[in-house]
Structure 1
């Protein structure tokens, strides 16, 4: 009987231990689940802040790109000598290409805060985090560098003109170009060199890096909007159906661009006519009903006929111009 009681007691004790272990495991599991849930909620809050910061930075990039768009035709006219006295009289100070410059000044406080909490990321968020690191790493560094270069150049130009040009006082105080200033813009080879330098540094580099940052920021903003279930700002991600007039195939005989819609998004498919299988596909974001950016650095503008039908577009980058005809 004693042996039977001992056996029952042993089984009871083992059962108690098993129940305690199971209870501990359940408690640990619940605790881990709670911790994971808290981490996921915390990282979502951080990503919501990034979402707002991306929207802010996209707006700043838009402003710089539009500034360059207004100067693009000016560079073309100066380089190709399509300018005269009346040209500068009519345009005034806005025609002095090299004396104004806006920096992007990308904000990154939310991103830095996100990086300080890297342990809170979930595997589901890894893809977005990787894209953000590229945007705020490589892309931002290039924009910041060219921000500094272009801003310092303008300050240097002002300093030189202040010290060397008699017409500087009248231009600054009256905000207009007098005969001496216009003569300088028309005939001085130094100014033509500075405009060529503007194309290389500002249009080929600062504008290009700004647009690459903007394009990647737009893609990630849209992905974040979907992930966080936030309604997209229609001034940032436009309704593609409002831009049906862009759809079609355009060529200049050497290169072809196809603009299509897929999954309610516009895509640009670009390829050389001699090698159509080697295609580049990008999300296509029109800037307006008539203007857009092609690839990383080209301004684009649609062409219309008398019936207000799209018949092609022109892409440009300062002194460079290419026309494409719509073939279907």
Structure 2
């Protein structure tokens, strides 16, 4: 810049205004170029930081996906065990190895098995600044998948809860042994005979089995398959 200042003074002194104007424009261009270069470097740094942050996010999502897939697979085993218990109550063939000893009464009357998943993965994606990469689009789709299934799980759980509540209400209304059952958790012969042989009760249990196995269970099966596909797709994109 000192060179330009010295040259400018000489040109003004010599009244060579036209040449001075050229040099002045040259100075302006150099300043503009310098600013553009600085902005370019700043933008490149920001893009690089965003890219690195997204790569870190993708790794975290894959870790959480593995945890959620394991939780879903464990729950599928619980659903299978519950299915066998319902089959036993309904007098159908069942796998004895999958029925927990001493748990039939509480399972049939009181327990509501649910898939325990938090919203950690959703929070990871929704709180991140995503770039416009294919991997980011995959994360957006995955977030939508989670939201859809979690809403469906909540709906079916509410239906099951109402069904179990109505079953207990019917027993309370019609069976004298209900007081002993609900107070002392004791189920004598008249209680056992009702639970295993009463056709009205068995019909209600059949509906619960259908809701758990064919409703909830099928949703969980589909969720697992979609998570596995999402994981495979995300890994393929990242490895490119």
Same fold (TM over 0.5): yes
Structure 2 vs 1, CA of residues 148 and 24 (structure 1 numbering), >3 Å: closer, same or farther?
same
Structure 2 vs 1, CA of residues 218 and 43 (structure 1 numbering), >3 Å: closer, same or farther?
same
Report the structure, 1 or 2, having the larger helix content: 2
Which of 62, 71, 74 is matched with 1:63 structurally? 74
* C-alpha contact 2:86 2:108 (8 A) present in aligned 1: no
Structure 2 vs 1, CA of residues 110 and 82 (structure 1 numbering), >3 Å: closer, same or farther?
closer
* C-alpha contact 1:185 1:191 (8 A) present in aligned 2: yes
Q: Does the alignment pair 1:15 with 2:34?
A: no
Give TM-score, length-normalised by structure 1: 0.55
* C-alpha contact 1:146 1:205 (8 A) present in aligned 2: yes
Mark the structure with the bigger radius of gyration. 2
Q: Deviations over 1:261-316 (max 9, x none)?
A: xxxxxxxxxxxxxxxxxxxxxxxxxxxxxxxxxxxxxxxxxxxxxxxxxxxxxxxx
Equivalent residue, structure 2, for 1:205? 215
Stretches of structure 2 that go unaligned for 5 or more consecutive residues are: 1-10, 95-99
Q: Does the alignment pair 1:54 with 2:54?
A: no
- Give the Å deviation of 1:196: 2.3
Report the structure, 1 or 2, having the larger strand content: 1
Equivalent residue, structure 2, for 1:94? 104
Which of 98, 121, 131 is matched with 1:121 structurally? 131
Structure 2 vs 1, CA of residues 64 and 152 (structure 1 numbering), >3 Å: closer, same or farther?
farther
The total of aligned residue pairs comes to 222
Q: Deviations over 1:64-120 (max 9, x none)?
A: 32111113344445556559xxxxxx9644277633221114311441352244x53
- Give the Å deviation of 1:23: 1.6
Q: Secondary structure at the match of 1:122?
A: coil
Which of 136, 148, 152 is matched with 1:142 structurally? 152
Structure 2 vs 1, CA of residues 169 and 134 (structure 1 numbering), >3 Å: closer, same or farther?
same
Which of 202, 208, 229 is matched with 1:219 structurally? 229
Higher relative contact order (CA 8 A, sep 6+): 2
Q: Secondary structure at the match of 1:104?
A: coil
Which of 79, 83, 106 is matched with 1:72 structurally? 83
Alpha-carbon distance in 2 for matches of 1:91, 1:126: 48
* C-alpha contact 2:180 2:186 (8 A) present in aligned 1: yes
Which of 166, 171, 185 is matched with 2:195 structurally? 185
* C-alpha contact 1:139 1:212 (8 A) present in aligned 2: no
